[in-house]
Each structure stands twice: as structure tokens, then as C-alpha cells.
Structure 1
Amino acid sequence: MLWKNLFKKHVRKGGHNSGKKVGARQARAAERTVPYVSSGETAQQRDSQAMFPRLFEHPLKGRQDRESGDKQVKLIAGLGNPGMKYDGTRHNVGFDVIDLCAEKLGIELNKSKFKGVYGEKMINGEKIILLKPLTYMNLSGESVAPLMKFYRVEPNNLVVIYDDLDLGPGAVRLRQKGSAGGHNGMKSIIAHIGTEAFNRIRVGVGRPPKGEPVPDYVLGKPFAEERTAINEAVQKSAEAVVAWTSDTFIKVMNVYNK
């Protein structure tokens, strides 16, 4: 399968990328086929829902059914496109945050399953999972949803990290719920898990210059003057994730939204 081949070329110790360029044409084609901002449900999303029924149409079983016994499982998913070509692009800031979180928390992204690369570790008595979907951005839900189902992750214990056009470069905003805001990776996740009530960290990348198509902009690398600000936002986002491993999301939100 394509995602397994991508895993072999993508993962290396510490959660960073390695290997040859892969899937460049597929990713760009996907971004152009399903624009960053669109209205209504796409045929691609409908097909995905047929393959992965919504997770939370029925209440989840009690905590005793979770792999971690009576302990919570927290999932942090950073969105992006796999392959060296997309390293450092605006659309991959979610991957960048996960790599930094892996370094800070000492979690090795060494597992290949659920169409992604992920790692896990017990921290403060809770299982912490870091995930990078390898489905390409627009199908992120095909990775996030099955992992949530397997580990019995409650929606309020999910954090998704992604790029946001409506925030200036370097801005960071934490929210407990909300719409996809035109982001197709978020649309896919919402469609697959059946709820908008999950945490997210939005990393600002700004709007493209007049006349530049949005897909080209988000799949491009930041201008030199933006790079420092975005790097600082990645650092801040990772610090917020680390703080969440020992506190509630609302408390973390109150600190990092200032």
C-alpha cells in the first residue's frame, strides 16, 4: 500500500523525515482537486465515510475498555503531506510541531499503522500518542479516526495541529471546538469522527499575495521574513502540547492564547 511505502521513506529516529522524494504529483493533484477552501461535502469525503463509518454516532464504552485501563489516552495529530518535497512548507507546520513534540517528550515515532507514523509513551499516568498521518492532507481523517477507535480516544482528548490562512504568520490560537474553517484536512477529520467538538491548535501562515493560487501558496515554503515567526509559532505550539500532558486543555488555552 502507498501509505506503508511512504512510512518507510518518511520515518526516522526522533520523528523526523528521511528518504527520497515521494508522492509530489499526487499531493499537488490532491490539493488542486479539492481546494483548500471549498463548500459542501466532496465526493472524496463521501467515499472516505463509506470506508470509515463515523466513530462517535454511539457512546464510547467506559474507560475500562481502553488499552490503558482506567487511564486517559491523549492523541496529538499534526497535519501535513508526506515526502521530502514538502518539508518546511506552510502546509506542513503540523508535522513540524509533532517532530518538536517528539523531541521534547522523548517519544519515538516508530510505529506504522492507521495510515500514519506515530509513537506513544506513558506520561504523568496517561498514554500520550503523537501522530503524523501519511494519507496526504485531504484524507487525514482516514488516519486519525481508526487510531482513535483502536485506542478509545475521546474527542475531548484529541488535539489537531494545522496551518491556518486566516492567522498572520507566526500567530497561534488554541480552540476547544469549531468548524473546519475551510481546511480540508480538518474537514476530513470532522467527517470521519462525526463531531467538531475536539481541541485544535491553529498555526498562522497568512494569506497568499494577490494573484497567487492558494494551493501553490500552502505547498510553498515561507518567505525569509516569515520563517522566523513561523518557527517561533511551531515552538510555542509544541510547548502548549507539552503543557497539556500535565494540565487541562482549557488552562493551557488560557495561557497560550495571550
Structure 2
Amino acid sequence: MSQNSGIMVAGLGNPGREYVQTRHNIGFIILDALATRACLGFKNTRFQAQCAKGVFHQHRIVLLKPQSYMNRSGFPVQKLSSYYKIQLSDIIVVHDDLDLPFGRIRVAHNRGHGGHNGIRSIIDAFGSKGFNRVRVGVGRPHGESGAVGHVLGKFVPGEMKQLEEVVAAGVDACVAIIENGVTSAMNLINRG
């Protein structure tokens, strides 16, 4: 994290009641928990996003939940980072990841989209993948259920039992990046 510039944490999800408590919205859920920890509240912006800003762990911080639907996440992230003069290397994106088992958290930097449409949209908007990510495992579907149905599906009871712990771990990963930078956070979080 560079000195003096702000840090943006963007949690990915889809707006609307039908998407609440779905696997694809784990980024929104973690951002709500991070806002609570930082004592910040979200407001709507003109850039198709809900935004909360303040100071957290001695850093100017902007929390962002795009309201543009997942596959168009790049527009609000790029517009608000430009508006708040936040560098790409100071952006953390929190999102669901099919390639990780449910609940596993991994920190990444400068990584490809891996088929995730929200991440693809952000890479396209910036023309670069040089941002930080908190990947939150939602596992792969069992049986005949396709990937789209799986990520847009609600958490099952077994997942709901673990959700609070998973969300806390996601918030901790964001805080680790904010406090000590992405390399230190990767060494800490990716060991488990």
C-alpha cells in the first residue's frame, strides 16, 4: 500500500433482494462486515455504487459495493478510484471463487480473472490486473448443477453455520492487506 493515498476495498455482488445471501454476493457480505468494524455507513453515489469512506487503521479508506451487476463491476470501481485518486495497487477486490473450497480465503495480486466476470470487467476497465484480491471460496457445484446456478444459489444450512466465521476471515484478510501490504498478507493468509 502506498503512503498517503487512500485505499479502496470493493466487494463484488449483485444488487436486489433476490441476490441477498447468495454465494455470488459474498463480497457484499464481507464489505458490510468490514464497514461495521470500521464504524462506517454506505451511501448511494452517482457512479452506480454504494460507498462508505473514513479513516481506518490510520489509512484513508473507501469501501465500495458496485450496484451495476457483477459483469459490469469495472465501471464503478474505475470511476470511484479515479474520483478519490486511489492507485490501482491500492485497490482490494473481495469476490467469490469457485476454484477454492467453501470458506477458504486466499490473497492474490496481479492475477488473471479465472473466468470470474466481475474480475474480468475490472481488468477491462483499468487495462491492467495490478490490483489486490481477497478470493473467498464458494466451492464447485456437486452433480448436475451448473456454475451459474451454484454461485447464484443461496447458502445451504451447512454453509450458513460457517458463514460468520468465513466473513470474519475475509475481513481479517482485508485488514492484513491494509495494515501490512499484500505480500505480508499473502504470507499470513495463504499458509492455511
Fold match, TM over 0.5? yes
Which string of whole-angstrom CA distances, capped at 9 and with x for unpartnered residues, describes residues 180-227 of structure 1?
000000000000011011100000001112211221111111221222
Closer/same/farther in 2, CA of residues 125 and 111 from structure 1, 3 Å limit: farther
Whole-Å Cα distance in 2 between the matches of residues 214 and 232 of structure 1? Answer: 24
Q: Which residue of 1 aligns with 2:114?
A: 181
Pair 1:141 & 2:69 matched: no
Q: Is this contact kept in 2: 1:204–1:230, CA < 8 A?
A: no
TM-score normalized by the length of structure 2: 0.93
- One-letter amino acid matched to 2:92: V
Q: Which residue of 1 aligns with 2:54?
A: 121
Whole-Å Cα distance in 1 between the matches of residues 136 and 161 of structure 2? Answer: 13
Which string of whole-angstrom CA distances, capped at 9 and with x for unpartnered residues, describes residues 85-124 of structure 1?
1111000000000000000011111242311001111234
Whole-Å Cα distance in 2 between the matches of residues 167 and 229 of structure 1? Answer: 15
Pair 1:108 & 2:41 matched: yes
Which has the larger share of strand? Answer: 2
Pair 1:213 & 2:146 matched: yes
Aligned residues: CA RMSD: 1.6
Pair 1:193 & 2:126 matched: yes
Please state how far the C-alpha of 1:244 moved relative to its aligned partner: 3.1
Whole-Å Cα distance in 2 between the matches of residues 126 and 172 of structure 1? Answer: 23
Aligned counterpart in structure 2 of residue 156 of structure 1, from 89, 104, 128? 89
Q: Is this contact kept in 2: 1:163–1:203, CA < 8 A?
A: yes
Q: Which residue of 1 aligns with 2:32?
A: 99
- One-letter amino acid matched to 1:92: N
- One-letter amino acid matched to 2:143: K
Q: Is this contact kept in 2: 1:170–1:231, CA < 8 A?
A: no
Q: Which residue of 2 aligns with 1:226?
A: 159
Whole-Å Cα distance in 1 between the matches of residues 150 and 44 of structure 2? Answer: 31
TM-score normalized by the length of structure 1: 0.70
Asked which structure has the greater RCO (Cα within 8 Å, sep 6+), the reply is 2
Which string of whole-angstrom CA distances, capped at 9 and with x for unpartnered residues, describes residues 63-91 of structure 1?
9xxxxxx8211000000001121111000
Whole-Å Cα distance in 2 between the matches of residues 103 and 242 of structure 1? Answer: 13
Further displaced range: 109-118 or 75-84: 109-118
Pair 1:240 & 2:157 matched: no
Whole-Å Cα distance in 2 between the matches of residues 248 and 89 of structure 1? Answer: 30
Any idea what SS the aligned residue of 2:180 has?
Answer: coil
What does 1:15-34 correspond to in 2, within 5 Å?
Answer: none
Q: Is this contact kept in 1: 2:134–2:174, CA < 8 A?
A: no
Whole-Å Cα distance in 2 between the matches of residues 187 and 181 of structure 1? Answer: 8
Whole-Å Cα distance in 2 between the matches of residues 150 and 158 of structure 1? Answer: 13
Structure 2 gap ranges (5+)? none
Q: Which residue of 2 aligns with 1:34?
A: none
Please state how far the C-alpha of 1:163 moved relative to its aligned partner: 0.4
Whole-Å Cα distance in 2 between the matches of residues 124 and 136 of structure 1? Answer: 30
- One-letter amino acid matched to 1:109: F
- One-letter amino acid matched to 2:15: P
Aligned counterpart in structure 1 of residue 11 of structure 2, from 71, 74, 78? 78
Identity of aligned residues (%): 37
Whole-Å Cα distance in 2 between the matches of residues 230 and 177 of structure 1? Answer: 27
Structure 1 gap ranges (5+)? 1-62, 64-69
